[in-house]
């Protein structure tokens, strides 16, 4: 029985490891004029501190659904926060009237489509979801 528990434990570790090891990229519409983004600029935009792109356009940040692993990975890499900590962060800001959370897309494909059709949109996705319609401006790696 002990051997079976150990085997299951190690199998779960192996399944979890690739998710944590993957990078996440921040994407924009090429028409936005943004060439690159710093980690600090991404923090300001996605945490509601500053809602403009570096070019001066109003930023429309797009979050993925809380149930997606990309969202968990993004906030872990960006600000070292868990989904529960991010929910608490936004609850405080919304309650105090200081900011509103980013628009929520159900999945990466929808986020890419929204960025591709809106010059103000900015989102994060797994690098495999990127296509030629959007531009990568920041890569967050473990």
Higher pLDDT, 102 or 18: 102
Q: Which domain holds residue 136?
A: 22-140
pLDDT at 81 (0 to 100): 93
Work out the burial of residue 63: count CB atoms within 10 Å of its CB; fewer than 13 is exposed, 13-18 middle, 19 or more buried: buried
Q: What's the maximum distance between 2 C-alpha atoms anywhere in the chain?
A: 61
pLDDT in tens, 1-45: 554 444 444 444 444 444 445 999 999 999 999 999 999 999 999
The mean pLDDT of 44-65, rounded to a whole number, is: 94
Tell whether 42 is covered by a domain.
yes
- 96 confidence band (pLDDT: 50, 70, 90): confident
Q: 73: closest CA among 121, 134, 141?
A: 141
Q: 102: closest CA among 141, 50, 142?
A: 50
Tell whether 12 is covered by a domain.
no
* CATH number of the domain encompassing residue 87: 3.40.190.10
Is the predicted pLDDT of residue 76 greater than 90, yes or no?
Answer: yes
The residues near 69 (Cβ < 8 Å, ≥ 6 apart) are 19
Tell whether 57 is covered by a domain.
yes
pLDDT at 1 (0 to 100): 55
**Count of domains observed in the chain:** 1
Q: Which two tokens stand for residue 1?
A: 């029985």
Q: Which two tokens stand for residue 74?
A: 């993004």
């Amino acid at each position: 029985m002990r051997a079976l528990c150990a085997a299951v434990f190690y199998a779960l570790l192996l399944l979890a490891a690739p998710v944590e090891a993957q990078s996440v990229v921040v994407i924009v519409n090429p028409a936005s004029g943004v060439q690159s983004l710093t980690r600090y600029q991404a923090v300001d935009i996605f945490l509601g501190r500053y809602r403009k792109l570096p070019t001066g356009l109003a930023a429309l940040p797009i979050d993925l659904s809380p149930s997606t692993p990309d969202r968990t990975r993004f906030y872990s890499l960006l600000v070292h926060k868990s989904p529960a900590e991010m929910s608490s962060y936004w609850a405080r800001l919304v309650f105090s009237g200081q900011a509103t959370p980013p628009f929520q897309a159900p999945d990466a494909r929808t986020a890419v489509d929204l960025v591709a059709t809106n010059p103000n949109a900015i989102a994060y996705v797994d690098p495999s979801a990127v296509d030629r319609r959007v531009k990568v401006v920041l890569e967050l790696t473990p």
